[in-house]
Amino acid sequence: MPLPHDSSASDSAPNSPLKQAVFLHTGWRSAGTWVWSRLRELERAAGFYEPLSNVLADLKPADVPASRPSLTSGHPPLAAPYFDEYRPFLREEARGVAGYDRRFSIDRFTREPDATFSSLQAYLRALSEPTIEQGRVPVFKFCRTGGRLPWLKRAFGQALHVGVLRNPASQFASGWLLRQQWSNAFFVAAPFRVLGLNQMDPLVREAIGVCGVRLPPLPSMADDAYAVACEQFARTVDSDNAYRAFIVLWILCALRMGEGVDLLIDMDRLGESRDYATGLRAAFDAQCDLSPDFTSARDLVVETRRSAARMTGIDGGALRAVHSAALKFLKAQAGIDAAFTEVVRQKMVLANELTETWR
């Protein structure tokens, strides 16, 4: 496997202009916040955390100082609160970041942009442009753009689009243990919410069928109400179904990454190889003149192995078939190069090894 996966040869040409922004396309519990934190600490970077999170709809200036990592988040210590960069876009007498719409918080997987995309594009430009005018590079850390990645790449061609990919077993375990130990079902509920609200899309419906996911019923209700229903569903859902839903969302987002991120960060390799970390730093430096230090990355694969005994109530041996089905689904899609498919295959092999001891 090459060091950073770079599918945009023109961007790396010697005389090409530098990218003006960084879009980090990550998943929940993928260690994307850690990657973002390494960029955010740079003097020339302005780190916008989760620009599509529904939390921003109600955010007030007085709320910003308290937006820090919790004891159970697993996030790195931050020099400034999560939402510090949004202060200029907040008003004292009103709630919400200017231009934000709650509809932005649900990812979409259609080929063409939906009706909200023009507003989403305007919102992100409103955050970007003042930052760029100040000579800084906006760094957006997303958990809700896996499906919309191609839309955003076309609309923001002057941004460096970076995919953060972690093996699915480690990523799922991180969220599952939060539910198991701390009754935090958000990360188990999230795939059900996203898939349920996109289940009429043919691609999503195909992936759901291939992996055998059972979704909560979708009666006539608003998105927010369905999100609440998914949260309740996730508190008692059986582990096999929870994993299947997670894998479907993971492979759909991987598919979109494979269709054309500029740079791929393999979180499993990053914790194992200082050379790989150095190569990523050079790739960022060459493309956007930011030089993040990734050499302090933890070995997340080792951590997953250590936590295996805590993964109770889930038959890891039965998950091999789910990994195989998801990989077969990816291989059947057009437009994915062989190198990226091989990265995903290796992720599934690793997931088979990690889940084998789950009981």
Pairing of strands 45-49, 137-142: parallel
Say what the pLDDT of residue 16 is: 54
Pairing of strands 137-142, 21-25: parallel
Phi, psi of 263 (to 5 degrees): -150, 135
Say what the pLDDT of residue 260 is: 85
Model pLDDT for residues 40-56, shown as the tens digit of each residue: 999 999 999 999 999 99
SS3 call for 16: coil
Q: 239 with 314: CB under 8 angstroms?
A: yes
Say what the pLDDT of residue 220 is: 80
| pLDDT (average), residues 203-210 | 98
Model confidence at 330, in pLDDT bands (50, 70, 90)? very high
Whole-number Å distance between alpha carbons of 357 and 241 = 18
Model confidence at 224, in pLDDT bands (50, 70, 90)? confident
Say what the pLDDT of residue 5 is: 44
Whole-number Å distance between alpha carbons of 153 and 146 = 11
Q: 28 with 143: CB under 8 angstroms?
A: yes
pLDDT at 3 over 50: no
Please give the order of strands across the beta sheet that includes 137-142: 45-49, 137-142, 21-25, 159-165, 263-266
Tokens of 140: 């957006």
Query: Where would I find the H helices in the chain?
Result: 32-40, 117-133, 149-155, 168-182, 186-196, 202-211, 223-236, 239-258, 267-270, 274-288, 300-306, 320-331, 338-355
Residues near 76 by beta carbon (within 8 Å), at least 6 away in sequence = 33, 34, 37, 69
Say what the pLDDT of residue 12 is: 37
pLDDT at 74 over 90: no
pLDDT at 344 over 90: yes
Q: What's the burial of 56, exposed, middle or buried (CB within 10 Å: 0-12/13-18/19+)?
A: buried
Single out the residue of 324, 32, 292, 298 nearest to residue 165, CA to CA: 32
Whole-number Å distance between alpha carbons of 64 and 55 = 11
Report how far apart the first and last C-alpha atoms of the chain are (Å, whole number).
32
Q: 213 with 195: CB under 8 angstroms?
A: yes
Mind listing the domains of the chain with CATH numbers?
9-355 (3.40.50)
Say what the pLDDT of residue 70 is: 87
